[in-house]
Amino acid sequence: METTRDRIIRAASRLLIESGRDAVTIRSVSAAAGVQTPVIYRLFDDKTALLEAVAGFGMREYLADKDALGETADPVADLARAWDLHVRFGLARPDFYLIAFSPAPADHQPDSTVRQEAVTGLRRMVERIAAAGRLRTSVERATHLVHAGGVGVVVSQLALPPHERDAGVSATAWNAVRREIVLHDHPPTATEASDLVKSHAGALRQALAGAGALSRAETELLTEWLIRISDHHA
């Protein structure tokens, strides 16, 4: 059953889609939803809180579509499809998107539940790439690069008139991000994975000589472990 809060959000969403952000005022929303303005203030405090709820409502459509993508045996291809979906949604629903992904004013912390859910979902996709032995950098850095790249593409394209937008920018940006985060174009074989681990262990062993973060005993113990790994023959 639709609540008063739901009705207000849906009315505001229609105004946002049809007439833009400036058309979403407390007065216009109260008229469209058939409620008194004090009701809106009681439920949302102010216009900013209302817009955040509206953005969350719009983003639910994106998150549902993202979940519907499912998973395949290739986590990199899955991430590429999610990237394309992200860009398509942002360009198709700019008002929802810009509210959801714009930085919050210093004096106002937004309800970022939906946005955080999107980032959490992205991180899970990156973790699958790492689990497959195909991630070049840390999960944290890769998640940040993909998120920043996707948002950057959408925001930069939205800043242009529709007839000036370059459909190839998204693919170019994805390929650049992909090169930064993906180590292998295909899942590594057992031998390749073993060689990679041994190579990294050897490099870390060499780097320990100039590191001062560990005590002598800790350095000796870690060095012993790295020697075992780098000299191990599978």
Q: Is residue 136 a part of any domain in this protein?
A: yes
Query: Does the pLDDT at position 186 exceed 70?
Result: no
The range of the structural domain enclosing residue 31 comes to 1-44
Q: Kindly state whether residues 22 and 123 are assigned to the same domain.
A: no
Q: Do 120 and 62 have their domain in common? A: yes
Q: What is the CATH number of the domain that holds 8?
A: 1.10.10.60
The number of residues in the chain equals 234
Which residues have C-beta within 8 Å of that of residue 197, sequence separation ≥ 6?
A: 229
Kindly state whether residue 50 falls inside one of the protein's structural domains.
no
Q: Please tell me whether residues 199 and 217 are part of one structural domain.
A: yes
Same domain, 130 and 216: no
Residue 85 forms part of a structural domain? yes
- By the 10 Å C-beta count (0-12 exposed, 13-18 middle, 19+ buried), 50 is classed as buried
Is the confidence at residue 192, as pLDDT, over 70? no
Is the same domain home to 37 and 134? no
Tens digit of each residue's pLDDT (9 = 90 or more) over 18-51: 888 888 889 999 999 999 999 999 998 888 888 8
CB 174 within 8 Å of CB 83: yes
- Report yes or no: 179 and 142 within 8 Å, Cβ to Cβ: no
As a whole number, the mean pLDDT across the chain is 84
Query: Cα–Cα distances in Å, from 98 out to 64, 79, 151, 170, 219?
Result: 19, 22, 9, 17, 49
Q: What mean pLDDT do residues 114-131 have?
A: 88
Domain count, the chain: 3
Model pTM score: 0.72
* Beta carbons within 8 Å of 39's beta carbon, 6+ residues apart: 4, 8, 30
Give backbone dihedrals phi and psi of 182, rounded to 5 degrees, phi first.
-100, 125
Share of the chain above pLDDT 90, in %: 44
Would you state the pLDDT for residue 77?
A: 95
CATH number at residue 78: 1.10.357.10
Contacts with 148 (C-beta within 8 Å, 6 or more apart), sequence order: none
Is residue 148 classed exposed, middle or buried when 0-12, 13-18 and 19+ CB atoms within 10 A define those classes? exposed
Residue 51, in any domain of the structure = no
**Could you give the CA distance from residue 69 to residue 210 in angstroms, rounded to a whole number?**
47
Is 49 within a domain?
A: no
Residue 87 CA to residue 67 CA, distance in Å, equals: 16
Co-location of 195 and 171 in the same domain: no
Say if residue 193's pLDDT is above 80.
no
CB neighbourhood size of 14 (10 A)? 16
For residues 82-90, average pLDDT: 95
Q: Would 72 be classed as within a structural domain?
A: yes
**pLDDT at position 82 over 70:** yes
